[in-house]
Amino acid sequence: MGSVTRGTTNPNRLRRMDRWIAAVHGAELRRATDPMAVDLGYGAAPWTPVELLERLRTVAPHTRVVGVEIDPARVAAARPYEREGLVFRHGGFEVPVAGRPSLIRAANVLRQYDEEQVAAVWQRLCARLAPVTARSSGGLLVEGTCDEIGRRHVWVALGPEGPRSVTFATRLGSLDRPSDLAERLPKALIHRNVPGEPVHAFLRDFDRAWAAAAPYASYGARQRWIRTVRALASDWPVTDGPSRWRQGEVTLRWEALAPRV
pTM of the model: 0.96
80-114 tens-digit pLDDT:
999 999 999 999 999 999 999 999 999 999 988 99
196-247 tens-digit pLDDT:
999 999 999 999 999 999 999 999 999 999 999 999 999 999 999 999 999 9
User: Tell me, what DSSP letter sits at residue 67?
Assistant: E
Count of CA atoms in the C-beta half-sphere (13 A) of 81: 19
Amino acid at 122: W
User: Span 15-170: which CATH code?
Assistant: 3.40.50.150
Dist CA 143 CA 140 (whole Å)? 10
Domain coordinates in residue numbering, the chain: 15-170, 172-236
